[in-house]
């Protein structure tokens, strides 16, 4: 059974897409899009490293927080590259 809380992934995606299409002054998301792919990739790398550190610290709250940050930055990357959650889900399904 699918947890109904997964809708938040699409909601975050929709907000990030809206920021891309309708920039808002002071938006961190717009800052990332404005800086481009290199900045987005740098943030994905930083967040992935922070997930690793959190896991090494065996701190569930820290890992949870850092995974959420990583997913947000991956979402920005997905949109920058023209991907959707449907694309990712199809890829995962093909691996079963």
Q: Encode pLDDT of 41-65 as tens digits.
A: 999 999 999 999 999 999 999 999 9
CA distance 88 to 73: 15
Question: CA-to-CA distance for 37 and 63, rounded, in angstroms?
Answer: 25
pLDDT tens digits in sequence order for the chain, 96 residues long: 456 788 999 999 999 999 999 999 999 999 999 999 999 999 999 999 999 999 999 999 999 999 999 999 999 999 999 999 999 999 999 999
Handedness of CA 81, 40, 66, 15 (dihedral sign): negative
Which domains, from first to last, does the chain contain? Answer: 4-94 (1.10.287.1080)
In this prediction the pTM is: 0.92
């Amino acid at each position: 059974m699918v947890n109904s809380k997964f809708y938040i992934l699409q909601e975050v995606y929709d907000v990030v897409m809206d920021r891309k299409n309708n920039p808002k002054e002071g938006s961190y998301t717009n800052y990332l899009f404005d800086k481009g792919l290199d900045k987005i990739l740098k943030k994905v790398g930083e967040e992935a490293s922070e997930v690793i550190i959190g896991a090494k610290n065996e701190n569930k709250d820290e890992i949870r927080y850092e995974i959420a940050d990583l997913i947000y930055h991956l979402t920005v990357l997905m949109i920058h590259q023209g991907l959707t959650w449907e694309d990712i889900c199809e890829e995962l399904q093909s691996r079963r």
